[in-house]
Structure 1
Amino acid sequence: MQTSELEDTQKKGARSRPERMQALATLPVFFKLAGKRAVVAGGNEPALWKAELLAATGAHVEVYAETFVHGFEALASTPPNGSVRLNRRRWTPADLADAAIAVGASEDDDDAAAFAAAARAAGAPVNVVDRPAFCDFQFGAIVNRSPLVLSISTDGAAPVLAQAIRSLVEALLPDGLKRWVEVAKVWRTKGGQLGDTPAAKRRFWNRFVDLAMREAQREPRDADFDELARSPGKAPPSVAIVKVGDDADTLTLRALRVLRMADIIFLDAAVPPAVLDFARREAQRVSVDPGASGTTVERIVDAARNGERVVRLIAVSSGAAEASAGALSRALRDAGLETPEITFAPSPAKDAT
Structure 2
Amino acid sequence: MSVSDVEEAQKKSTRTRPERMQALATLPVFFKLAGKRAIVAGGSEPALWKAELMAATGAHVEVYAETFVDGFDALASAPPGGSVKLNKRAWSPADLEGAAIAIGASDDNEDAAAFAAAARTAGVPVNVVDRPAFCDFQFGAIVNRSPLVLAISTDGAAPVLAQTIRSLVEALLPDGLKRWVEAAKLWRTRGGQLGATAAAKRRFWNRFVDLAIDEAEREPREADFDALVRAPDKSPPSVAIVTVGESADTLTLRALRVLRTADRIFFDDDVPASVLDFARREAQRFAIGPDANGDANGGTTGAVDRIVDAARNGERVVCLIAGSSGRVEASCNALSRALHNAGLDMPEITFAPRLASDAS
TM-score, normalization by structure 2:
0.85
Q: CA RMSD in A?
A: 2.4
CA apart distance, 1:20? 5.3
Q: Which amino acid aligns with 1:294?
A: T
Cα deviation code 1:114-165 (max 9, x no counterpart) = 2112212222211111111221211111111111111122222222222222
CA distance in 2: counterparts of 1:334 and 1:253, whole angstroms: 31
CA positional deviation for 1:40:
0.9
- For the residues of structure 2 that align with 1:277 and 1:135, how far apart are their CA atoms? 30
**Structure 2: 5+ residue runs without aligned partners?**
1-15, 291-297
CA distance in 2, matches of 1:225, 1:42: 48
Q: What is the match of residue 4 of structure 2?
A: none
Partner Cα distance (1:321, 1:21) in 2: 30
Structure 1 residues 313 and 252: CA distance shift in structure 2, 3 A = same
Structure 2 CA distance for partners of 1:190 and 1:17, relative to 1, 3 Å: closer
**How many residues are paired up?**
335
Cα distance in 1 between the residues matched to 2:155 and 2:38: 23
1:311: which partner in 2?
318
- Quote the residue 1:8 is aligned against: none
* Aligned counterpart, 2:35: 35
Tell me the distance in 2 between the aligned counterparts of 1:206 and 1:289: 29
Structure-to-structure mapping, 1:149-228, within 5 angstroms: 149-228=149-228
Q: Post-superposition, which runs of at least 4 consecutive aligned residues in structure 1 deviate over 6 A?
A: none
Find the counterpart in structure 1 of residue 233 from structure 2. Answer: 233
Instruction: Decide whether the 8 Å contact of 2:38 with 2:102 is kept in 1.
Output: yes
Q: Distance in 1 between matches of 2:233 and 2:330?
A: 34
Q: Give the structure with the larger helix fraction.
A: 1
Contact 2:45 2:69 in 1 (8 A): yes
Amino acid at match of 1:238: S
Matched with 2:6 is none
Contact kept? 2:234, 2:313, Cα under 8 Å = no
How many Å apart are 1:317 and its aligned residue?
Answer: 3.7
Which residue number in structure 2 is paired with residue 242 of structure 1? 242
2:143 is the counterpart of 1:135: no
Aligned-partner Cα distance in 1 for 2:271–2:190: 40
- 2: CA distance, partners of 1:108 / 1:146: 35
Name the SS of the counterpart of 2:32 in structure 1.
coil
C-alpha separation in 2, matches of 1:180 and 1:253: 20
The alpha carbon displacement at 1:186 in A equals: 1.3
Q: Distance in 2 between matches of 1:324 and 1:215?
A: 33
Note closer, same or farther for the CA distance 1:347–1:172 as it changes in structure 2 (3 Å cut).
closer
Identity %: 77
Tell me by how many angstroms 1:187 deviates: 1.3
Matching residue's letter, 1:203: R
Equivalent in the alignment of 2:337: 330
What's the TM-score once normalised by structure 1's chain length? 0.86
1:301 aligned to which of 308, 327, 331: 308
SS at match of 1:75: helix
Q: Between 229-238 and 97-106, report the one with greater CA deviation.
A: 229-238
Separation in 2, partners of 1:57, 1:163: 21
How far apart, in 1, do the equivalents of 2:136 and 2:243 lie?
41
Deviation at 1:289, TM superposition (A): 4.8
The equivalent of 1:345 in structure 2 is 353
1:26 aligns with 2:34: no
